[in-house]
Amino acid sequence: MNESPLNHDQNLEKADRLAYLIFGHVRNTLTPQERDELDDWITESDENLELFEKLTDEDNIEMGIQDYLQKEKLKEQSLIGVQDRIKNEKKYSVWPWVVAVSLLLAVASFYLFRQPKNNHVENTTVENTNSKDIAPGQNKAVLTLSNGRTIILDSSKATSLAKEEEVNISQNNGQLLYSGKNIELKMNEISTPRGGQYNVILTDGTKVWLNAESSLKFPASFTDNIREVEVSGEAYFEVAKDVAKPFIVSINARTGKNQKVTVLGTHFNINAYEDESSTYVTLLEGSVKLDNGSTSKILTPGEQAVSTTGIEIRRGDVNEAVAWKEGKFLFHDATIQSIGEQIKRWYDIDVQYEQKGQKLFNTEVSRNVPLSKLLNGLEGTGQIEFKFENKKLIIK
């Protein structure tokens, strides 16, 4: 199907605008309104997010500049000079028009040459997605400020993002950092999608790691004698000790009961996904109290609290509980259902069970490998088979 001249012009205009916004992001020159416009486009689809990450990757920009210069047949001496400047000018202040053209060409090709949903090219793409070689998750999240503004987080190098009164917010290599102090309470929220993870350091020094499909609500600065945050999904906490200000984590469990974990300073993991029947709190060091409104329990290091209608305390597998934070899958006597849920969240795919068996699996695999490597290891046990169709993993 041929594209009409009107659609072609509209796509080109949109590509030109996006190139301007992305280039402004690279040079840190966007106004707050322009940054909001870019954030809205990025959050529209995973396709947009993937393109944004590719275009803002330092190595990709350098390659784009080199390709452009070669196509224009510039002198060899000029090419060497640009390469040297790229290494020394991380903000790409030298020859900005070259970077802009490189971005425009990439964005324009995205809009002008992608095919309608019902043609042959799209069918080829669907066939390619049937491959089990799905890339693992990465550092990505969305930060929502107290005024409702959203900011896309990624693995960019040190970048100042925003301010909440006197609190400065920045990101650096997959880590969100809050510094400063407010008088008024300003609530923020960081959320990770499927296939995403992120780390945040709160103003009191507490460190929180978020696993895929999780969220953390927290004040930009703690303003009273209680430090309280709210978590859903899975998070690992290293709480900064402050005897005068207890740290409280509220958990919205699937049961509808608002559970609370109270600590002074400790390391622990919370697994509280809303689509699972139980909540797990595993303590590594220190001491915590878990309260579900009717029952409270004290945990000591190495123990795990399992909450459904009540609270059960048992010895926990600490290594397995925090393996995700250490960049690996660690399964000890794990059911295929529990393995399937972790695969679903980290590789951003759907999982279907043809038959839910009771066989248990023991294996350890890096979370940084393609999906195929993990599945091949599980299939090697001879106890399970996988089928992959249209980004859906079918477990036999």
Q: Any idea where the domains of the chain sit in the sequence?
A: 5-114, 143-318, 328-395
Helix (H) or strand (E) holding 36: helix 32-42
**Which CATH class, in words, describes the domain spanning 143-318?**
mainly beta
The pLDDT value given to residue 253: 46
On whether the pTM is more than 0.85, the answer is no
Report the topology of domain 328-395.
Phage tail protein beta-alpha-beta fold (3.55.50)
d(CA 291, CA 23): 50
Tell me how far CA of residue 291 lies from CA of 229, 262, 307, 386, in angstroms.
15, 8, 10, 41
| Confidence label for 92 from pLDDT (cuts 50, 70 and 90) | very low
The pLDDT value given to residue 14: 77
- Mean pLDDT in residue range 263-284: 90
Please say whether the beta carbons of 233 and 189 come within 8 A: no
The pLDDT value given to residue 183: 85
Give the residues across from 303 on adjacent strands: 315
d(CA 309, CA 256): 10
| Confidence label for 244 from pLDDT (cuts 50, 70 and 90) | confident
> Quick check: 121 pLDDT over 80?
no
Whether the domain at 143-318 and the domain at 328-395 fall into the same CATH topology: no
Burial 137-161 (b: 16+ CB within 10 A, else e): bebbbbbbbbeeebbbbbbbeeeeb
The pLDDT value given to residue 1: 45
Q: What confidence tens digit (pLDDT) does each residue in 130-177 have?
A: 444 788 999 999 999 999 999 999 888 788 899 998 999 999 988 999
| Confidence label for 289 from pLDDT (cuts 50, 70 and 90) | very high
The pLDDT value given to residue 310: 84
Name the average pLDDT for the chain: 79
Q: What confidence tens digit (pLDDT) does each residue in 371-386 have?
A: 988 888 888 777 788 8
Q: DSSP 3-state assignment of 54? A: helix
- Mean pLDDT in residue range 334-356: 89
d(CA 308, CA 239): 25
- Hey, what amino acid is at 288? V
178/387: higher pLDDT: 178
Please say whether the beta carbons of 270 and 301 come within 8 A: no
| Confidence label for 100 from pLDDT (cuts 50, 70 and 90) | low
- Hey, what amino acid is at 337? Q
